[in-house]
């Protein structure tokens, strides 16, 4: 993990999700943590009240089709297929806007060359797991009733890392 504000961030878990029948990677999920008092992340002087705090972030990448079109995600419509279960969980039913999506630090372009180590670190992910959509959907369905289900990153860390 991230021991102090001087140590870099860390990618804790990398998930590779494959389509059931074609074995092609359709999503990648990265979950990491950072120290909010790290240089390049904090605004101003370090705050003693958050010295023991670590922020957890999650990033999801939908792999584009060969034709270059964006994936069609209409999360307003209830879908019970494997793909629908996985996408609804990862996005928490929020509508995605590909042009204005933020970064780990909030607004777009806040992660830059000066603070990239403080956010992502310089070590490989602690754990990488490889799933098919149906396997991941079944795991999510069986754990969906738990309190952590409203915090996808923490639930995935608890299931696969801690």
CA pair distance 117, 40, nearest whole angstrom: 9
Task: Give 34-55 pLDDT, tens digit per residue.
Answer: 998 888 888 888 899 999 999 9
pLDDT in tens, 104-154: 777 667 888 888 898 889 899 999 999 998 888 888 888 777 766 678 888
- Which residues lie across from 31 on neighbouring strands? 13, 58
Beta partners for 131? 17
Measuring CA to CA, which residue among 69, 108, 92, 75 is closest to residue 150?
A: 92
Residues 6+ apart with CB under 8 A from 44: none
How far is Cα 38 from Cα 40, in angstroms, rounded to an integer? 6
Model pTM score: 0.80
């Amino acid at each position: 993990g991230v021991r102090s504000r001087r140590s870099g961030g860390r990618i804790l878990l990398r998930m590779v999700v494959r389509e059931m029948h074609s074995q092609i990677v359709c999503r990648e999920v990265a979950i990491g943590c950072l120290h909010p008092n790290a240089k390049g992340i904090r605004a101003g002087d370090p705050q003693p009240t958050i010295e023991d705090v670590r922020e957890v972030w999650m990033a999801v990448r939908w792999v584009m089709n060969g034709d270059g079109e964006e994936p069609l995600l209409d999360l307003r419509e209830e879908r019970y297929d494997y793909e629908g279960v996985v996408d609804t969980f990862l996005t928490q039913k929020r509508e995605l806007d590909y042009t204005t999506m933020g970064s780990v630090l909030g607004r777009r372009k806040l992660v830059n060359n000066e603070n990239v180590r403080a956010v992502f670190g310089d070590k490989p992910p602690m754990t990488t797991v490889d799933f098919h959509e149906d396997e991941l959907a079944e795991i999510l369905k069986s754990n969906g009733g738990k309190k952590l289900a409203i915090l996808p990153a923490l639930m995935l860390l608890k299931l696969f890392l801690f």
